[in-house]
Amino acid sequence: MKLNHFMIPYFGNKRNEVKKIYENIDLSGIDIIVEPFCGTSALSFYISTLYPLKYTYHLNDNNGLLIQLYEIAKDEEKFKLLVDEVDKIFKSIKNEDGTYDKEKYNKVDFNTLKGFLFKNKIYQIRPGLCPLQKEQSNDKIIKILKSPILHFLRTEKIIFTCDCAIKIMNEYKNNDKALLFLDPPYLQVCNDFYANSDVNIYEHLYKNSINEFKCKIYLCLELVWIIKLLFEKYEIIEYDKRYTGPSKKNVKHGIISNVLK
C-alpha cells in the first residue's frame, strides 16, 4: 500500500511492509484474524481487499481513543459530525493572519476523541514534532472522510475491543481457526507515545511457548539480538525495512511464526 490507508498518521504503521507480511502467512483453515495490537490494522485491511467478506476480524488496542475512533468511523453520519468538530478546532486556533495561536492550541483537550483526531491528523506529523505552519490548509480534514479503511470498517464483520493484548491472545490460543498477528511495541525503542508502553508481551512469550498454541501466530518485530535469542527455535523470515522521516535508517525486521525449525 503506497498511500496511507488509515485516518491519521500512526507510528508503527505497517502499510509499507504489509505485502511482505501477507506473502509469508498461511490463511488456510482460518476463519478469524486477530490483531491484539491493532494500531492501523494494516494487515487486516490488506487481507480484506484481497478477500472481501471472507473473514471475521477482531481488532484490539489498549488505546481507548483509537478504538472509539474505529467505532465512530463505522457510522458515516456520526463520523462526519466528528470530523466537523475537528474542523472547528482547526479554525478556532487560527489568527486573522493565518498563523496558529500556540496559547489556543494548548487549551485543546486531547483526551477527547475530537482532540485526539485533531492532534494526530492536523498537528502532530511525527511523534515529538508539532509544526503549526501558516500555509497549512484544511485539506487534511477532507482527506479523513476519504480514508480507504472506512470501507473496510463499514462492510466487514469486525469485533472491536480495548483490552490487554495478553488477554486477547489467551482467548484465541487454542482456536485452530484463528490467526493472531502480533505487532507489539518494539523492545528497545522509546514507546512513550503508546497508551501503555509497559506491556509485558515479551515476558509472556518467553514463559509461554507459542508452538504449543493451536492458533497460528505471526509476530512482526525488529530483529535486534535479544529478539533473535528469544525466538531462536522458531522460523524467522527476515526482510529489510527503511524508516521514513528524518532518520531514514535501514533495519532488519522479521516475521516469526509458531512453527518449529
Q: pLDDT of the chain along its 261 residues, tens only? A: 657 899 887 766 787 889 999 999 999 999 999 999 999 999 999 999 999 999 999 999 999 999 999 999 999 999 999 999 988 888 888 777 767 787 888 888 989 999 999 888 766 544 434 445 444 556 677 788 889 999 999 999 999 999 999 999 999 999 999 999 999 887 655 454 455 555 578 888 888 888 899 999 999 988 888 888 888 888 899 988 876 655 567 888 999 999 766
- Collapsing DSSP states into helix, strand and coil, what is residue 90? helix
Fold of the domain spanning 18-70+156-260 = Rossmann fold (3.40.50)
How would you classify the pairing of strands 234-242 and 250-260?
antiparallel
Domain boundaries, the chain: 18-70+156-260, 84-144
Q: How many residues does the chain have?
A: 261
Q: Is the pTM of this model over 0.85?
A: yes
Shortest CA distance to 172 belongs to which of 31, 8, 5, 2? 31
